[in-house]
């Protein structure tokens, strides 16, 4: 009898984790979710079902809406992990829980979805942090200063990120065939979230850097590997990872003394902000960034508006403090 209970409990544990794996496979194959999204949702969902198991819950059919709310509260407070979770992390975990329960209902594993009314926590609006044009110039100059094979690669990567607004994940996924740098208007084919394709023009500085990498550096890196088709390669000739690309960005930022101002998305944010400051429309920037909704792009207009307000505050006499005005 004891053996039967143990095996039954183990089988249930496996069933919940198997359900998670089936769901993330569905996201990847049927929904076209990115590797990063699938990995994040799988991690959040596994943490959730393992917590259920620890509390003796053996099926999603036993879960209540109150139980899910209690779980997210414990996650947010730090009771689950030992440190309080950021609002964005809680929101993502709730999205994973909603998705898992919806999948279980759709597939007929359960009869009700207790997560259907689960609401994500309200997140503050964080404006993207962009570099100034001069700061981007310093960053790219620092990248150009390294003439090693890796330096030439890093320079090409940074020039591409700023020239196209590509996500780091999109850049490291590129193959040589995705470029048409010899066309009258050089372009690159990017694959965004959900494998949505877009064609983005590439400026002359980036074309030059990419050409130098293709001729002077990539063959040397490729010779160290096993014939990888990825355009950007690491020191072993294998495809460059997102983490290694971020290391390359950070290396240039350190050389330019901009380390505190740079993140993996800084070049993308700077690309969008500088286009809007230069007169591009929100719709045009939306297309170039690959945003599904224009509302996502419109946050960059707040960035440029904030910069204009700062200029106004510093420069306009009517915007200065009353004490300063009184002294005139």
Asked if 19 and 100 sit in the same domain, the reply is yes
Q: Is residue 296 part of a domain?
A: yes
Q: Is residue 318 part of a domain?
A: no
Q: Is residue 147 part of a domain?
A: yes
What's the pLDDT band for 211 if we cut at 50, 70, 90? very high
According to the model, what pLDDT value does residue 6 have? 26
Here the tokens at position 63 are: 């879960």
> 260-272: b or e for each residue (b if 16 or more CB lie within 10 Å)?
eebbbbbbbbbbb
According to the model, what pLDDT value does residue 324 have? 42
Which class for 171: exposed (0-12), middle (13-18), buried (19 or more C-beta within 10 A)? buried
Q: Is residue 124 part of a domain?
A: no
**Whole-number Å distance between alpha carbons of 319 and 310:** 10
Here the tokens at position 163 are: 């020239």
**Residue 196 designated active-site:** no
| Range 156-171 average pLDDT | 95
Q: What percent of the chain has pLDDT over 70?
A: 85
**Domain containing 21 — which CATH number?**
1.10.150
Here the tokens at position 104 are: 């279980």
Catalytic-labelled residue, pool 43, 50, 102, 193:
193
| Range 273-281 average pLDDT | 88
Asked if 137 and 98 sit in the same domain, the reply is no
Assess whether pLDDT exceeds 60 at residue 205: yes
**Domain containing 279 — which CATH number?**
1.10.443.10
Asked if 169 and 285 sit in the same domain, the reply is yes
Asked if 97 and 174 sit in the same domain, the reply is no
More confident residue, 36 or 2: 36
**3-state class (DSSP) for residue 322:** helix
Asked if 47 and 138 sit in the same domain, the reply is no
Q: Is residue 246 part of a domain?
A: yes
Domain tally for the chain?
2
**Whole-number Å distance between alpha carbons of 211 and 196:** 26
Assess whether pLDDT exceeds 80 at residue 204: yes
Q: Is residue 87 part of a domain?
A: yes
**Whole-number Å distance between alpha carbons of 291 and 78:** 33
According to the model, what pLDDT value does residue 247 have? 92
Assess whether pLDDT exceeds 60 at residue 306: yes
According to the model, what pLDDT value does residue 127 have? 60
Catalytic-labelled residue, pool 144, 167, 269, 274:
167
Which letter does DSSP use for residue 263 in this model?
-
Residue-by-residue DSSP string for 183-227: SSS-EEEEE-GGG-EEEEE--HHHHHHHHHIIIIIHHHHHTTTT-
Asked if 163 and 76 sit in the same domain, the reply is no
Whole domain around residue 231: which residue ranges? 133-312
pLDDT one-digit tens code per residue, 5-36: 222 333 344 489 999 999 999 998 888 888 88
Catalytic-labelled residue, pool 58, 129, 265, 320:
265
Catalytic-labelled residue, pool 41, 48, 71, 300:
300
Asked if 178 and 45 sit in the same domain, the reply is no
Sign of the torsion formed by the C-alpha atoms of 309, 311, 317 and 323: positive
Here the tokens at position 287 are: 């297309």
Q: Is residue 166 part of a domain?
A: yes
At CB < 8 A and 24+ separation, what contacts does 132-137 make?
A: 133/274, 135/256, 135/258, 135/261, 136/162, 136/267, 136/270, 136/274
Beta-strand relationship, 197-201 and 187-191:
antiparallel
Asked if 80 and 215 sit in the same domain, the reply is no
Average predicted confidence (pLDDT) for the chain: 84
Catalytic-labelled residue, pool 101, 153, 269, 291:
291
**Residue 167 designated active-site:** yes
pTM: predicted TM-score of the whole model, two decimal places: 0.61
Q: Is residue 201 part of a domain?
A: yes
pLDDT one-digit tens code per residue, 82-98: 787 888 888 899 999 99
**Residue 193 designated active-site:** yes
Output the furthest CA–CA distance in the chain (Å, rounded): 92
Catalytic-labelled residue, pool 218, 268, 269, 274:
268
According to the model, what pLDDT value does residue 66 have? 85
Asked if 94 and 239 sit in the same domain, the reply is no
Assess whether pLDDT exceeds 50 at residue 114: yes
What's the pLDDT band for 121 if we cut at 50, 70, 90? low
**Residue 300 designated active-site:** yes
**Whole-number Å distance between alpha carbons of 268 and 290:** 11
């Amino acid at each position: 009898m004891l053996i039967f209970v143990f095996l039954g409990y183990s089988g249930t544990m496996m069933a919940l984790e198997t359900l998670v794996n089936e769901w993330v496979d569905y996201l990847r194959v049927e929904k076209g979710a990115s590797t990063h999204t699938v990995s994040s949702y799988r991690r959040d969902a596994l943490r959730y079902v393992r917590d259920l198991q620890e509390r003796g819950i053996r099926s999603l059919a036993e879960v209540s809406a109150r139980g899910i709310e209690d779980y997210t509260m414990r996650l947010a407070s730090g009771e689950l992990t030992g440190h309080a979770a950021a609002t964005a992390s809680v929101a993502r975990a709730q999205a994973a829980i909603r998705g898992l329960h919806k999948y279980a209902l759709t597939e007929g594993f359960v009869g009700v979805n207790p997560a259907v009314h689960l609401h994500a926590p309200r997140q503050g609006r964080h404006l993207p942090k962009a570099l100034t044009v001069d700061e981007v110039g310093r960053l790219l100059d620092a990248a150009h200063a390294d003439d090693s094979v890796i330096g030439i690669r890093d320079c090409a990567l940074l020039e591409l990120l700023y020239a196209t607004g590509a996500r780091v994940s999109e850049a490291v996924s590129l193959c040589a065939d995705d470029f048409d740098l010899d066309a009258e208007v050089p372009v690159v084919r990017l694959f965004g979230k959900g494998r949505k394709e877009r064609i983005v023009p590439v400026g002359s500085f980036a074309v030059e850097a990419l050409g130098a990498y293709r001729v002077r550096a990539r063959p040397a890196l490729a010779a160290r590997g096993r014939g990888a088709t990825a355009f950007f390669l690491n020191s072993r000739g294998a495809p460059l990872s997102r983490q290694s690309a971020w290391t390359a960005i950070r290396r240039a930022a350190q050389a330019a003394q901009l380390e505190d101002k740079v993140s993996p998305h800084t070049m993308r944010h700077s690309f969008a902000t500088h286009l809007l400051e230069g007169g591009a429309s929100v719709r045009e920037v939306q297309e170039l960034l690959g945003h599904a909704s224009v509302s996502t792009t419109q946050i960059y207009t707040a960035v440029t508006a904030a910069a204009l307000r700062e200029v106004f505050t510093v420069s306009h006499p009517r915007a200065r403090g009353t004490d300063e005005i009184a002294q005139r």
